[in-house]
Amino acid sequence: MNWKSILTIARKDLKEATQNKSVWLPMLVIPIMFVVLLPVVMILVVGSAGSASQSMLSDPDMATFFARMPEVMKESLAGLNAIQSGTVMMLGYFFAPFFLIMPLMYSTVIAAESFAGERERKTVEALLYTPVKDAELFIGKVLASFIPAVLITLGSFLVYIIVLNTFGYRIMGRVWFPLPNWYALILWVSPAISLLGTAFTVLISTKVQTFMGAYQSSASLVVLVLGLLAGQATGVLYLSPLVSLLLGAGIWLVDVILVYFAVKSFNRAKLIASAGS
């Protein structure tokens, strides 16, 4: 395996991705919306609606939610008033799955640019004739999407920490974020989700003709994360540290299997034939 060739392919893809407005615009808008605007609005709303927060916490469904909550999550709510508990619940727990949607969207939008984008620009044929192995070409494409998705997610998380502790200090009276469940989510589950989206989309992009076709085909993966969001909101699944570790392990296993079979099934000859047709 020639890592110099792999990194050269990855750098080339990254350079081309930054020149495509369809790629970098969502990567700019999504963090601003999910990491800054929505949290600030939610903090202001919760902070100005004390009675509403109390009503929410006394709701029978919420009582059931709290009763089933793991002890490690209950501890973060101990001694808090209604407004503080509402802030922690909304932004510390319910909002967490959004940080799995973001790396998935980042990775798929860059990965969709890989072979499908090359095909649209009529440059895929020259790429396919380069003297690199099929596995090196595929892995280079995967790294070009996986690494930026992980780094942007980590950067977004750091900004989220600053936003929550800055705007939420008036309510909480202290630096309160991140909560224990976030470390496994960001450092373990999020990279696994990024690799899943990347490998799946790169594989799809070898079979479709356009960037948008590859991106739309891979968008179905977001349904998996929305399921986690619904599960946590309804109390069916809590993204506690232990659950996040197990969930991440399962996704990493799927990643290894997917990448293995994707590399095995990658056929440069078919791509060359389709590029010439």
Instruction: Report d(CA 41, CA 167) in Å as an integer.
Output: 10
Q: What pLDDT band is residue 181 in, cutting at 50, 70 and 90? A: confident
Q: What pLDDT band is residue 174 in, cutting at 50, 70 and 90? A: very high
| pLDDT > 70 fraction of the chain, expressed in percent and rounded | 74
Higher model confidence: residue 18 or residue 184? 184
pLDDT of residue 237: 67
Q: Give mean pLDDT, residues 244-254.
A: 92
DSSP 211-252: HHHHHHHHGGGHHHHHHHHHHHHHTS----HHHHHHHHHHHH
Q: Give mean pLDDT, residues 186-204.
A: 87
Identity of the highest mean pLDDT range in 55-64, 189-198, 238-247: 189-198
Higher model confidence: residue 63 or residue 277? 63
Q: How far apart, in Å, do the first and last CA atoms of the chain sit?
A: 31
Instruction: Report d(CA 237, CA 235) in Å as an integer.
Output: 5
Q: What pLDDT band is residue 235 in, cutting at 50, 70 and 90? A: low
24 burial (CB, 10 Å; 0-12 / 13-18 / 19+) is: middle
Q: Give mean pLDDT, residues 142-162.
A: 91
Beta strands in the chain (DSSP E): none
Are 70 and 179 in contact by the 8 Å Cβ rule? The answer is: no
pLDDT of residue 225: 76
Identity of the highest mean pLDDT range in 3-12, 83-92, 96-105, 156-165: 156-165
| Amino acid letter for position 35 | V
DSSP 36-72: IIHHHHHHHHHHT-HHHHHHHHHSHHHHHHHHHS-HH
Nearest to 272 by CA among 150, 115, 154: 115
| pLDDT > 90 fraction of the chain, expressed in percent and rounded | 20
Q: Is the pLDDT of residue 52 over 60?
A: no
Higher model confidence: residue 97 or residue 267? 97
Looking at residue 210, the DSSP 8-state letter turns out to be: S
Residues with Cβ within 8 Å of 189's Cβ and at least 6 positions away in sequence, in order, are: 100, 244, 247, 248, 251
Are 27 and 109 in contact by the 8 Å Cβ rule? The answer is: yes
Q: Is the pLDDT of residue 208 over 80?
A: no
What does the buried/exposed string (b/e) look like for 145-175 if buried means 16 or more CB atoms within 10 Å of the residue's CB?
bbbbbbebbeebbeebeebbeebbeebbeee
Higher model confidence: residue 116 or residue 185? 185
pTM for the predicted model, two decimal places: 0.84
Q: Give mean pLDDT, residues 79-105.
A: 85
For the segment 26-47, what is each residue's pLDDT rounded down to a tens digit?
Answer: 778 888 888 999 999 988 887 6
109's tokens: 């939008």
